[in-house]
Amino acid sequence: MSGHTVTIPDDRAFASFKAECLCEEGWSVNHNKGGITVLTQCLEEGKSIHKMKCRMVCKDVSAEIMYDVLHDIEYRRKWDTNVIETFDIGKLTVNADVGYYSWKCPSPLRNRDVITLRSWLPMGKDYIIMNYSVKHPKYPPKKDKVRAVSIQTGYLIQSQGPTNHCTLTYMAQVDPRGSLPKWVVNKSSHFLAPRAMKKINKACLKYSEWKQRHNPGFKPWLYPEQTTLPNIPLSDLSLQRAESLENIDESSLAETKEREDSD
Give the tens place of pLDDT for each residue, 49-97: 578 899 999 988 999 999 999 999 999 999 998 899 999 999 999 999 9
pLDDT, position 250: 46
In this prediction, residues 8-37 reach a mean pLDDT of: 93
Q: Do 210 and 109 form a contact (C-beta atoms < 8 A)?
A: no
What is the number of residues in the chain?
263
Contacts of 63 (CB under 8 A, 6+ apart): 125, 126, 127, 157, 158, 159, 160, 166
Please report which confidence band the pLDDT of residue 194 belongs to, taking 50, 70 and 90 as the band edges.
confident
Please report which confidence band the pLDDT of residue 193 belongs to, taking 50, 70 and 90 as the band edges.
confident
Q: Do 174 and 244 form a contact (C-beta atoms < 8 A)?
A: no
Mean of all residue pLDDT scores within the chain: 85
Domain spans, the chain? 11-240
pLDDT, position 7: 94
pLDDT, position 104: 87
Q: What is the pLDDT of residues 103-123, one digit of tens each?
A: 888 777 788 889 999 999 999
Please report which confidence band the pLDDT of residue 146 belongs to, taking 50, 70 and 90 as the band edges.
confident
pLDDT, position 46: 52
Q: Is 38 helix (H, G, I), strand (E, B) or coil?
A: strand
- CATH code of the domain occupying 11-240: 3.30.530.20
Please report which confidence band the pLDDT of residue 261 belongs to, taking 50, 70 and 90 as the band edges.
very low
Most confident of 99-113, 147-161, 248-262: 147-161
Does residue 185 carry a pLDDT above 90?
no
Q: How many CA atoms lie within 13 A of 208 on its CB side?
A: 6
